[in-house]
Structure 1
Amino acid sequence: MIQRSITLFLAGLVAAGAIGVTIDASDAAAQGAPQSVTQTRVDVVQMGGGFRASKLSGATVYNSDKDRIGTIDDLILSPSDRNAFVILSVGGFLGMGKHYVAVPFSNLQISDKQVVLPNATKQSIEALPEFKYAPD
């Protein structure tokens, strides 16, 4: 029974492709409002050398002297200018007393799978204003 359902489903997909079914993005509507989609070409080779947020989350951040100064908790894009910021978890011991600070992503140096915030110290980072997540 399952085999037959899968076969019928695949046959339907092939038939839809043979007929040339297309979906026009301009006809799509979310919440009843027409949507427009703008396509931009992206250099996939250049993007392939980028940094995945999922891989950066939890990474330890060091300074130039290889002192551990914090851990990346999150990556946030500002709503107005789309600049990226990393949220560092700093201070504390065994999860107690830690707080979050925001640092521009552009200040980080990433090489050989190590994240470095040059010229930073634990004290200078802990002295930054505390970042608080907005309530959901």
Structure 2
Amino acid sequence: MIEKSAAIGWAVLLGVMSNVPIAAAQGAPQSVTEVRVDVAKIAAGYRASKISGATVYNGNKEKIGTVDDLILGPPEWEPYAVLSVGGLLGVGTHLVTVPLASIQVVEDQFQLPNASKDSLKALPEFTYAK
């Protein structure tokens, strides 16, 4: 047990000395990469809790769907919006996914400028993995 603690201690000391952060996961030293972000820009963005349930409009300001969920999809872990299209009170809705980057924010409205209810309904239906 002393040898493991000593190894972790040396790994942390070497990390501090080399200015490379080190984290120990289950006793094995690992390098941690940190990224600096502009927190003021991030704070001006939209939280997932505010996007979920938001109405999505097209370029003609017609309601074409609602954001049902947000998903990070592998392998690049890009964010996708799951949109609920059609139906009434949740009955008969068609779930589809679109890259979150394709949704624009115009005057505090989420828009898919060139989309329509019909073009979204023509997309493959999305179902959650079990």
| Same fold per superposition (TM over 0.5) | yes
Aligned to 1:75: 70
In the superposition, the TM-score normalised over structure 2's length comes to 0.75
- Letter of the 1:124 partner, please give it: S
Q: The residue matched to 2:88 in structure 1 has which SS?
A: coil
SS of 1:28's equivalent?
strand
Deviations 1:12-37 (A, max 9, x none): xxxxxxxxxxxx6735325x665442
C-alpha distance in 1 between matches for 2:118 and 2:68: 19
Q: Secondary structure in 1 aligned to 2:22?
A: helix
Moved over 4 A (4+): 32-35
What's 1:26 paired with?
22
Q: Is the 8 A contact 2:64 2:117 kept in 1?
A: yes
What is the distance in 1 between the residues matched to 2:113 and 2:61?
9
Structure 2 counterpart SS, 1:50: coil
Aligned mates of 2:29, 2:101 — CA distance in 1: 36
Identity rate, percent: 56
Counterpart CA distance in 1 for 2:94 and 2:30 is 40
TM-score by length of 1: 0.72
Distance 1:44 1:102 in 2: 29
- C-alpha offsets along residues 24-66 of structure 1, whole Å, 9 cap, x if unaligned? 6735325x66544211111112212222111100000011111
Task: Give 1:119 shift.
Answer: 1.2
Equivalent residue number for residue 116 of structure 1: 111
Do residues 84 (structure 1) and 84 (structure 2) align? no
Q: What's the counterpart of residue 93 of structure 1?
A: 88
Distance 1:64 1:48 in 2: 27
Q: Which amino acid aligns with 2:76?
A: D
Alpha-carbon separation, structure 2, partners of 1:41 and 1:72: 30
Q: In 1, distance between residues paired with 2:30 and 2:125?
A: 38
**2:112 partner letter:** L
Cα distance in 1 for partners of 2:121, 2:98 equals 12
